């Protein structure tokens, strides 16, 4: 049994508590059980109200069972959608008022259940998240969510939530009308019961937003925005837009039928299969055991180097409650790093990602220093100093003296072979790579790099640490460029060389935007920095001379001081009004050959080939890890599922 029904003083309570699981989810059996309970409630004339709540500590209801959804045949899916509609309608049509007391994740089908209630009250806990993320999986809310949400909060508020698949914190959910109140967890039940006194709720009219002219305008604008953002590559969003815009007039039942038709169509599409698989890979990456060893606890860390990456890592760790000693070689470098970190904290406060107290506490956890201080109390040191092997060797030799014998020593190098640092330290079993991506606060992936000598315990500890700080670890073998940079480089080099031979930069970049990459390869080179990219290319060209090169055009641009975005000029020239091809870069081209017609297959094919080599060489454990790392680390077109799928 997954739901229990009790009643006292005329108020019934449905308590969701899925057996043998930390999450509540909806599968066929749970929906049928709910239906039976609702029949009993409807038949009991003594009842005056119904409260729905969860017994789980951090989940209200996490949505539909994705395993069932992704493996269901067309007929099975149709009958599951019908069942959901029928049961949620039963709830909505009860004669008595109903309230959902929401604590923890109230997501997808879980929020669709809440939408069928009269009232919704949420706890103010950091665990509470509310929303309909289905379009991120290539489908749409089809148990009434695409119909009830716009009718409740109005199309203008509902569309961005569903089309963006956004999950909201409690207060944001209240401001947008998704819940009626936010209260401390200890008052959740009493406050929710109070709402039952308001009786049944009638649907708001949204007269101005929902008249046919307004709906046409809203629909056109949202459709144009979607086309700009997704280039027509993600069918779920336009399907949801259509269903939601039609949902605000006419009968609910007709709209439920359109939800069903749309989900049946979307479920058959390859884009949906890729997105569902990626979601499952992400879930797996959160718990996959790469080794049987037990992780050690990490609370105190040091970061060496307060540049772009060091400051980014120190900021992120401190937001996650971890103490950081941040060390650089000069007061000036330390001050620049701290200025970067303060700016990040200011932005997070302004955007309500952190409260003022959380930001102040986070900043307090960073102890910045330009002096060589003892680091014996740190359990982990992350080196993020300049990308020069000799500098790193000196730093590691020093760290070996300055830390405890079992302090884990990690480098954030982009491409240098980590084993070359092993000779500089005692106990090289504690040496590994923790390769964060830039910008650290936004990029979810961390490559955990294992050398031949790294111990299982060090790996288990590093993986657990990466998860604890809310990032996604993928374990890779020590080899130049590791996984992501190695797969990306041949693609970037080829794009730069096509440009150098005369290719139009916009044609090259547009081709890969149309392929589904978040940014064209030349723009990406500019973002990374042409000096940084050339450095990585040198390392990889030395390791794989048969197929990796340093593009001459990048070296020429670096020589001219055109380093990409950070210097305002690279392949493009950057100004207040965006960017345009840089005259200097155009003048450095050596030919006038137009870009080849098969740009997409040629450029993406290079990534696919290198990805297969990485799998053959055991750089990653599986094709799944490679696909996930490329999507999280580079934004590789998620609807295509990753480079191993093309």
Catalytic residues: 435
With b for 16 or more beta-carbon neighbours within 10 A and e for fewer, the 284-317 pattern comes to ebeebebeeeebbebebbbbbbbebbbbbbbbbb
308 belongs to the binding site for ligand NAD (CB under 6 A): yes
Cβ neighbours for 105, distance < 8 A, ≥ 6 positions apart = 58, 59, 60, 61, 62, 127, 128, 129, 167
DSSP SS3 for 365: coil
User: How many residues line the site for ligand NAD (CB under 6 A)?
Assistant: 24
**H or E segment to which residue 634 belongs:** helix 623-634
Cβ neighbours for 229, distance < 8 A, ≥ 6 positions apart = none
Q: How far is the CB of 220 from ligand NAD (least distance, A)?
A: 39
> CB-wise, 15 or 335, nearer to ligand NAD?
335
Q: Which of 327, 486, 569, 640 binds ligand NAD (CB under 6 A)?
A: 327
Q: Which of 309, 366, 380, 554 binds ligand NAD (CB under 6 A)?
A: 309
With b for 16 or more beta-carbon neighbours within 10 A and e for fewer, the 340-350 pattern comes to bbeebbeebbe
Q: DSSP string spanning 165-233? A: T-EE-HHHHHHTTSSSEEE-GGGHHHHHHHHHTT-S-PPP--TTTTSHHHHHHHHHHHHHHHHHHHTT-
CA distance 168 to 144: 19
> CB-wise, 91 or 311, nearer to ligand NAD?
311
> CB-wise, 385 or 422, nearer to ligand NAD?
385
| Contact stretch for ligand NAD (CB under 6 A) within 303-311, 422-430, 540-548, 622-630 | 303-311
User: What are the angstrom distances between the C-alpha of 140 and each of 99, 144, 595, 603?
Assistant: 24, 10, 38, 32
Q: Which of 97, 238, 305, 480 binds ligand NAD (CB under 6 A)?
A: 305
> CB-wise, 345 or 437, nearer to ligand NAD?
437
454 belongs to the binding site for ligand NAD (CB under 6 A): no
Q: How far is the CB of 327 from ligand NAD (least distance, A)?
A: 6
> CB-wise, 185 or 566, nearer to ligand NAD?
566
Q: How far is the CB of 620 from ligand NAD (least distance, A)?
A: 18
Residues of this chain, 27-46, that bind ligand NAD according to CB under 6 A: none
| Contact stretch for ligand NAD (CB under 6 A) within 21-29, 163-171, 327-335, 490-498 | 327-335
| Chain-centroid distance, C-alpha 395 | 33
Q: How far is the CB of 528 from ligand NAD (least distance, A)?
A: 6
Q: How far is the CB of 494 from ligand NAD (least distance, A)?
A: 21
Q: Exposed, middle or buried, 523 (CB in 10 Å: 0-12/13-18/19+)?
A: buried
Q: How far is the CB of 580 from ligand NAD (least distance, A)?
A: 24
> CB-wise, 416 or 496, nearer to ligand NAD?
416
| Contact stretch for ligand NAD (CB under 6 A) within 235-243, 250-258, 278-286, 300-308 | 300-308
Tokens of 12: 């019934």
Residues of this chain, 342-401, that bind ligand NAD according to CB under 6 A: 384-387, 391, 395
Backbone angles phi, psi at 167, to 5 degrees: -105, 135
| Chain-centroid distance, C-alpha 260 | 28
DSSP collapsed to 3 states, 378-418: CCEEEECCCCCHHHHHHHHHHHHHHCCCCCEEEECCCCCCH
What is the contact mask toward ligand NAD in residues 512 to 551, using x (rule: CB under 6 A)?
----------------x---x-------------------
Q: Which of 66, 72, 83, 329 binds ligand NAD (CB under 6 A)?
A: 329
Q: For residue 108, is it left (φ>0), alpha (ψ between -120 and 50) or beta? A: left
* Cβ atoms of 605 and 599 closer than 8 Å: no
> CB-wise, 150 or 305, nearer to ligand NAD?
305
> CB-wise, 245 or 532, nearer to ligand NAD?
532
Q: How far is the CB of 227 from ligand NAD (least distance, A)?
A: 31
Residues of this chain, 402-431, that bind ligand NAD according to CB under 6 A: 412-414
CA distance 448 to 427: 18
Q: How far is the CB of 547 from ligand NAD (least distance, A)?
A: 22
CA distance 407 to 363: 24
Q: Which of 61, 182, 240, 306 binds ligand NAD (CB under 6 A)?
A: 306
The total number of residues shown for the chain amounts to 646
Question: DSSP secondary-structure letter at 636?
Answer: -
> CB-wise, 99 or 629, nearer to ligand NAD?
629
DSSP SS3 for 598: coil
| Contact stretch for ligand NAD (CB under 6 A) within 188-196, 307-315, 516-524, 574-582 | 307-315
| Chain-centroid distance, C-alpha 130 | 16
Q: How far is the CB of 440 from ligand NAD (least distance, A)?
A: 8
Question: DSSP secondary-structure letter at 579?
Answer: E
List, in sequence order, the alpha helices (H) in 295-384: 308-319, 331-350, 356-364
| Contact stretch for ligand NAD (CB under 6 A) within 35-43, 126-134, 255-263, 322-330 | 322-330
Q: Which of 333, 378, 469, 595 binds ligand NAD (CB under 6 A)?
A: 333
> CB-wise, 303 or 498, nearer to ligand NAD?
303
> Angle, to 10 degrees, between the axis of helix 236-247 and the axis of helix 212-230?
170
Q: How far is the CB of 557 from ligand NAD (least distance, A)?
A: 17
280 belongs to the binding site for ligand NAD (CB under 6 A): no
* Cβ atoms of 635 and 519 closer than 8 Å: yes
Residues of this chain, 85-144, that bind ligand NAD according to CB under 6 A: none
* Cβ atoms of 245 and 215 closer than 8 Å: yes
Question: DSSP secondary-structure letter at 427?
Answer: -
Tokens of 158: 């509902």
Q: Which of 7, 35, 214, 438 binds ligand NAD (CB under 6 A)?
A: 438
Q: How far is the CB of 386 from ligand NAD (least distance, A)?
A: 4
Q: If you compute the radius of gyration of the chain from its CA atoms, what whole number of angstroms results?
A: 27
Which residue number places its CB atom closest to ligand NAD? 307
Q: How far is the CB of 299 from ligand NAD (least distance, A)?
A: 22
> CB-wise, 459 or 528, nearer to ligand NAD?
528
Choose among 5, 53, 4: nearest CA to 185: 53
User: Cα–Cα–Cα angle for 398, 402, 407, nearest 5°?
Assistant: 105
Q: Which of 180, 328, 494, 627 binds ligand NAD (CB under 6 A)?
A: 328
| Contact stretch for ligand NAD (CB under 6 A) within 55-63, 257-265, 299-307, 454-462 | 299-307
> CB-wise, 353 or 391, nearer to ligand NAD?
391
Site for ligand NAD, rule CB under 6 A? 304-310, 327-329, 333, 384-387, 391, 395, 412-414, 437-438, 528, 532
């Amino acid at each position: 049994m997954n739901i229990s029904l009790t009643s006292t003083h005329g108020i019934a309570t449905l308590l969701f508590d899925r057996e043998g699981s930390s999450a509540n989810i909806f599968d066929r059996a749970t929906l049928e059980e709910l239906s039976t309970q609702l029949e009993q409630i409807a038949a009991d004339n003594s009842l005056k109200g119904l409260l729905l709540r969860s017994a789980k500590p951090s989940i209200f209801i996490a949505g539909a069972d994705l395993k069932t959804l992704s493996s269901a045949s067309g007929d099975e899916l149709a009958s599951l959608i019908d069942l959901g509609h029928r049961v949620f309608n039963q709830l909505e049509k009860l004669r008595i008022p109903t309230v959902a007391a929401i604590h923890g994740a109230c997501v997808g089908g879980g929020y669709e259940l809440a939408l069928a209630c009269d009232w919704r009250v949420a706890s103010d806990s950091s665990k509470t998240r509310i929303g309909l993320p289905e379009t991120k999986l290539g489908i749409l809310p089809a148990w009434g969510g695409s119909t009830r949400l716009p009718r409740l909060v109005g199309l203008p508020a509902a569309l961005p939530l569903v089309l963006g698949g956004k999950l909201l914190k409690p207060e944001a959910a209240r401001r947008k009308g998704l819940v009626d109140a936010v209260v401390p967890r200890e008052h959740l039940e009493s406050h929710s019961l109070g709402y039952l006194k308001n009786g049944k709720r009638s649907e708001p009219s949204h007269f101005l937003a929902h008249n046919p002219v307004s709906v046409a305008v809203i629909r056109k604008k949202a459709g144009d925005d979607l086309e700009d953002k997704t280039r027509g590559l993600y069918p779920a969003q336009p399907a949801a837009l259509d269903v939601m815009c039609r949902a605000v007039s006419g009968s609910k039942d007709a709209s439920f039928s359109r939800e069903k038709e749309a989900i049946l169509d979307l479920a058959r599409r390859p884009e949906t299969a890729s997105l569902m698989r990626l979601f499952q890979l992400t879930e797996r990456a959160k718990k996959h055991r790469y080794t049987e060893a037990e992780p050690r606890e990490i609370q105190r860390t040091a970061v060496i180097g307060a540049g772009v990456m060091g400051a980014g890592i120190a900021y992120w760790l401190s937001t996650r409650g971890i103490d950081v000693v941040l060390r650089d070689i000069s007061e000036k470098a330390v001050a620049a790093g701290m200025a970067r970190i303060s700016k990040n904290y200011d932005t997070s406060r302004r955007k309500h990602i952190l409260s003022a107290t959380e930001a102040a506490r986070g900043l307090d956890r960073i102890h910045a220093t330009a002096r060589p201080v003892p680091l014996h109390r740190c359990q982990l040191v992350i080196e993020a100093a300049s990308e020069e092997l000799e500098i790193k060797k000196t730093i590691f030799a020093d760290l070996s003296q300055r830390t405890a014998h079992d302090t884990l020593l990690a480098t954030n190098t982009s491409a240098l072979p980590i084993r070359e640092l092993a000779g500089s330290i005692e106990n090289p079993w504690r040496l590994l790579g923790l390769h964060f991506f830039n910008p650290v606060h936004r990029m979810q992936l961390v490559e955990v790099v294992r050398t031949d000598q790294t111990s299982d315990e060090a790996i288990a500890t590093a993986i657990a640490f990466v998860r604890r700080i809310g990032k996604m670890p993928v374990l890779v073998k020590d080899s130049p460029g590791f996984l992501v940079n190695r797969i990306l480089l041949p693609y970037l080099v080829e794009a730069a060389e096509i440009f150098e031979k005369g290719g139009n930069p916009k044609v090259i970049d547009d081709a890969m935007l149309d392929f589904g990459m978040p940014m064209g390869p030349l723009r990406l080179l500019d973002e990374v920095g042409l000096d940084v990219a050339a450095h990585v290319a040198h390392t990889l060209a030395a390791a794989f001379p048969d197929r990796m090169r340093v593009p001459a055009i990048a070296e020429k641009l670096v020589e001219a001081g055109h380093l990409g975005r950070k210097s305002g000029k690279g392949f493009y020239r950057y100004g207040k009004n965006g960017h345009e091809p840089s005259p200097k870069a155009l003048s450095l081209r050596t030919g006038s050959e137009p870009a080849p017609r098969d740009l997409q297959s040629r450029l993406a094919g290079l990534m696919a080939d290198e990805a297969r080599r990485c799998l053959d060489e055991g750089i990653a454990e599986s094709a799944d890890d490679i696909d996930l790392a490329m999507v999280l680390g580079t934004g590789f077109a998620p609807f295509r599922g990753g480079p191993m799928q093309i």
